[in-house]
Amino acid sequence: MRELTHVVVVDDHNEIRELVQKYLEQQGYKVSVADGGPSLRRILDRQTVDLIILDVMMPGEDGISLCRHVRSSANTPIIFLTAMAEDTDRIVGLELGADDYVVKPFNPRELLARIRAVLRRAANSASSAAVQDRRIARIGHWKVDLGRQELCGEDSVGIPLSTAEFRLLKVFIERPGLVLSREQLLDLTVGPTADVFDRSIDNHVSRLRRKVEENPKNPTIIKTHWGGGYSLCAEVAYE
């Protein structure tokens, strides 16, 4: 049985903890709550945590200090909750290693979207680390050097790829067979805050197909799933 993603909500306001806990549990997450540093530390000592939602302004030890403590020993994703109108605390938090922030008062749906995006980026980072030692990926007759960002055919002649095309190809290589929506592909290639339209992914896919497909109008490597996105349908092997 697949374990639920474990999220810890750290806030000194009981109403906020209960609101976020109830909402996230309805969305299928395992949720623990903490009213400050001591209770957060107890949870971290006893359980595996996938993401921390951390209030910045708390009595005693604040969120900035707790973020520094977590980052001293773990890369657990952190999303700040902040009521501050100024940018200072948000900037300091991001510099310390927080992954995102949400300004109070917030819509729970916005928080959920941020959680999903941060978890996707964390998974992508883990996947990238996993293939770091296997630097050559083979897709059919194509060889992709992940370190040098090169695409070569059977004749070993390099095919030039733009940065956007390579990032897109790398995302597909790391998730063969998985249908990825335009939103997911944007998150994984340029980040969720990028000021671009999701249809730009269609243009990148089209250009990439012209380089890797024998017949771009009838693709067999990168397929379209109408209403669902795109997937890499070729087998991936590493050298």
For residue 234, pLDDT over 50 is answered with: yes
Note whether residue 107 is domain-resident. yes
Q: What is the pLDDT of residues 122-181, one digit of tens each?
A: 777 665 555 554 578 899 889 998 877 889 988 888 888 888 888 899 989 988 888 888
Domain with 47 in it: what CATH number? Answer: 3.40.50.2300
Taking Cα atoms as reference points, which of 221, 219, 226, 223 lies closest to residue 236? 221
Question: Quick one: 21 and 109 in the same domain?
Answer: yes
Question: Quick one: 11 and 78 in the same domain?
Answer: yes
Question: Quick one: 63 and 157 in the same domain?
Answer: no
Task: Say how far apart CA 96 and CA 105 lie, in whole Å.
Answer: 23
**Which of 97, 112, 128 is the C-terminal boundary of a domain?**
128
Cβ-contact 64, 88 below 8 angstroms? no
For residue 197, pLDDT over 50 is answered with: no
Note whether residue 1 is domain-resident. no
Note whether residue 66 is domain-resident. yes
pLDDT of residue 125: 64
Q: Which residues constitute the domain of residue 62?
A: 6-128
Taking Cα atoms as reference points, which of 38, 42, 83 lies closest to residue 61? 38
**Which of 82, 105, 128 is the C-terminal boundary of a domain?**
128
pTM above 0.85, yes or no: no
